[in-house]
Amino acid sequence: MAVLLIILALGVGGTALVVGPRLMSFVKSTSITPDPADASAKIGAALYKEQGADNWSGWSMGGEWKTLNGMLLSDGTSGSQNNSNDFIWAPHQVGVANYGVQATIQVTSPVQNCYFGLIGRGNGSSTLGGASSYTGYVAGMVSGYPFTGTATGAMVSYFPLSNVSSSSTEPSTPQQYNLDLRPHTYRVEFVDNHIIMKVDNHAVVRIVDSVSLSGALVGLENGYCQLSVSNFSVIKL
């Protein structure tokens, strides 16, 4: 059975949870070819940066994902464990193991039951057509649905199509975080087997997980939220 491992920093009480199972689905992409130039870049250098000037050229648009006036928008209508359009891939495929993924994201419409996040260390086949093709991590926010009832909080999740023991991931004591309608800078950092999710430069989830130590695919996920994304970048760490 497919298992999604969730580490959730609740906005109510600050309690860490591990929950699952759940199937994830993905949009199609091209074959995976990590950029060899990334290896020679300096630590801290931007390996990829999108600020909307080219209207998000090369991104895998479709379904709920679209652009307007240089902003990447998602209407959230494709959010479902059975729908392939809740994920969108960046055109850059990362050529190093340690990196950060960062984006400025605003939730533009109040929704109780939704989720969104950054994708990193993604791996998959050249067809990238379904959940059976992937492993990787999502770091982001959950507002009520589907994991936590009425709670809201930050999460880091791993999505293999195989069984994963909950003991393979160890959450630290999380900071409380509540979702609002202002723009925030969301970031996930992968350094060896340490993963940190930050909101506005404040760490909200820390985990140690050795299941996936590399992966070239990066992007965004959204289910049922309405989002506006003003920028996206990948930084070498």
Q: Which residue has the higher pLDDT, 129 or 142?
A: 142
DSSP, residue by residue, 126-164? SS--SGGGEEEEEEEEEESBTTSTT-EEEEEEE--SS--
CA torsion sign for 124, 63, 223, 237 is positive
* Predicted TM-score (pTM) above 0.85: no
**Burial degree of 144 (CB within 10 A; 0-12, 13-18, 19+):** middle
> What residue ranges define each of the domains in the chain, with the CATH number in brackets?
5-31+41-236 (2.60.120.560)
Q: How confident is the model at residue 177 (pLDDT cuts 50, 70, 90)?
A: low
Over the chain, what is the mean pLDDT? 76
pLDDT at 1 over 80: no
90-127 residue pLDDT tens: 999 999 999 999 999 999 987 677 889 999 998 875 34
The mean pLDDT value for 175-204 works out to 88
3-61 residue pLDDT tens: 344 444 544 333 333 333 233 333 344 467 899 999 999 999 999 999 999 999 999 88
